[in-house]
Each structure stands twice: as C-alpha cells, then as structure tokens.
Structure 1
Amino acid sequence: MNTPSPEKLKSAVQALYQVRAVEGPPGDHGQRSVWHMSTHGAELLSLVDLEGRVQRQELTLLDDHYVWTSGEGLRTGRVEPDSASKAAAAAAVVHTDPQLVPGRLMRAALALETYDGEDRYILHIKRVLALAREGLELRDASVVKLSEERSPEAVPAAPVAREVNPGSEAVPNVPRSSSSEGVVMLVVFGVGLVAAIVLFISLL
C-alpha cells in the first residue's frame, strides 16, 4: 500500500470540516452519533453521551483508520482498499493494528494540526492525536537520551610493550628492596653487635 502524501491527507481533512455534520437520534443508552463525511476519503463518526461528552470516535483518512474510546484510548488500523470506495463506505472492512503504528499516528496528527476551526468534534480528535503524538515523541526522546547516557563497557587496557634485547631471556618481575628496608637492616645489625660486645665484657 502506497503511503499518501501530506498534501493529499490535508486535502481530505479540509474537505472533512467543510461538510455539515449529521446528528442521529439518541440510542437506547442515550448516546447519539455525529457523523462528518466528505467525498475526499475522510470520515469522522463521534458518539456522544447525554451530557454532550465524546465517548468514542472513529476517524478514517484515506486508507488509515483511528479509533478512540474514553476507556481504551487510541488505536490505529487500516481500511481494506477494495472496500474503501464511497459506495461501500458503510461496509468497509477495518483491520486494527496489534499496537499503535507511529507512522499512521504521525500522518493524521500532521494533517489535523493546521485545523483552527470551532467544530468541537474535529477539535476533540485533533487533541487526541496531538497528545498521542507528543507521548510518542517523548518516549523516543527518552530512549535516545538513555542510550546516550549509558556508559560504554570498560575495555581492559592493552599490555604495555617492553623493549627486550634480542636473544635475551625474559627476566621475572621481582620487586626490588627499597632504601628504607636497607637502613632498617643496618640498624638491627648494629644493635645486635653492640649487645654482643656488652655481653662479652660482662662475662670477663
């Protein structure tokens, strides 16, 4: 399926808010439907409760489909190309994505972001898509920041190469005695010598 151009999506959205919405009668639970349908591949169906609050919206933009409910949030999907014609719009087959597809979300959010009218139902779905887009961008930004802040694994330093004369044998690395150790040994030897002389004189 070819990805629709931004210009084509914006044209569909413009046609959507140029049509007059059709309101249906209240249903069994008091909900009523508000239907926006254009001839350019855009359709918005809203379900509203008795107090006028939007409970569910379904938006179709060409082959992309979006469903928002107050309890489950936003989901994306696609409309079956063969059944997306105007004559079969009521019987169109919608395939819901297993999870939110960022590409579909971005396309609809960008197409609706320029709308500055006063239709409360179009404003509602615009706000839903904008919030979902913002959440997606924040998530991606946090992932990038985390990967940048993660320090690389410690790499062991390479052994220092030491110059060895050809033909010489390797000399083991034996620690050398420090100068302070030599002084201590001399002092101990001197004290022992003095003690021996004193002992020898006392015996005489």
Structure 2
Amino acid sequence: MTDTAIAWDTYSRQRPERRPTNARGETTWFNWTQYPEHGPGVELLEVEAGARVLDLGCGKGGNAAHLATLGVQAVGVDVSPAQLRAARERWGQMPGLELHQAEAVAFMQEADEPFDAVYSVYGALWFTDPDRLLPVVRERLRPGGRLAFSQRPPVEGCYGCQASYIPRGPDEDPAVVKRWDYEPDVWERMLKEYGYTDVHATVLPAPPGPRTVGTLIIQARG
C-alpha cells in the first residue's frame, strides 16, 4: 500500500459515518460543503438519468450513491481501501454504482469510456497536482461535459502545494499528504489554460453560526 493510501486510511478511521438520514428525512443526498444541509446540490453537474458521472476521491461514497438513486451511472474512485470498504458496506448493493480503488490520474489515463461529468468534493482535485490531473480529466469528458469540485478556500498567503497533516497515534508522527490551494481567479486562469470553458470559481460563505470558513466551488466545461 502506498504512503498516500495509508494516510487516507488513517483519515477514514477518524471520520464519522454519514448520518442515516438528513434533516429532510432523505437517506441519500448530495453535499458540496463541509456543513450539513448547506449550499447547492446535484444540479451543479447538469446531468440526467443515464449520464455517466465520475467522483474523484469518493471517500465513503455518499454523494455517488445519491447520483445512482437518480438513475445516473455513478463511478467512484478512491485510493484508500478503508474508505472504499466503508462505501461498499453501506452502498455496495445499489444499482448503477461502481467503486474502484485507484489513484486519480492513473484511473483517468486508463478509462476507456468518456464521462458526462466529473466532480470532487474535498477530494482528489484538491489533493492531486492540477498540472497532472486537469489535462486528463478534460480528455475524458464528453464535449461540453461538466467539471465541478469543492474544497476549503486557501489561507491568505499560502498558495500552491501545501502540506495537510493527518493525526495518528500519540507516539507517531502525523501522516502527510499534499494539497493544492489557489485563489478563485488562479483556478479560473489555470482551467482556461487547459482548454476548459465557462469557468467560474467562487467562495460560498459558511452558514450562520460560529464557524466562518466557507467553501470554494469551481465549475467548468470540458
């Protein structure tokens, strides 16, 4: 197992499971932000039943599972065996849902069918070098297909490749993974340079309450 997979396995053990139902009583739902019942939903992907959609860094599979309930062919990819094990235990029998263990760039390079949309929620599009990932995503998108991803906004002055630390045991050093932080206008420029169109990046404010960190949401067409 790679160091990256080990790090995300560690993260998986620290994350709570998705609730059985949300505030509306739904058993599946789509959430772009770090806050429950906040922000837009699946409409950002602009897909209908029968579309083929890829979740890069699907984690425990909740968003991909929701797409499958809508008749979408949902494909989830994650590098962490622990994350995927949890996803399969909860959603593995759902029709229309595929789950794969792979690194994002490698999976995209080997994909033999195009996608109508590709998305990532605090996932691989935050934790993979965009100079490697963005070109192969565009190659695998159908013409006009949607790319959308969300992540935490950058800390002022801390841009580009940064380190994220995942705590381990009290006598162990934290696991370290890389992430790529840019301001909205930099993401917009980067995506346009790789041939994406209709590019828009914005920070959605946090909901009312004590927490103030919003969510950076980036959208584009291939």
TM score, norm. by length of structure 2: 0.22
Higher helix share: 1
Q: Considering only CA atoms, is the larger Rg found in Structure 1 or Structure 2?
A: 1
TM score, norm. by length of structure 1: 0.23
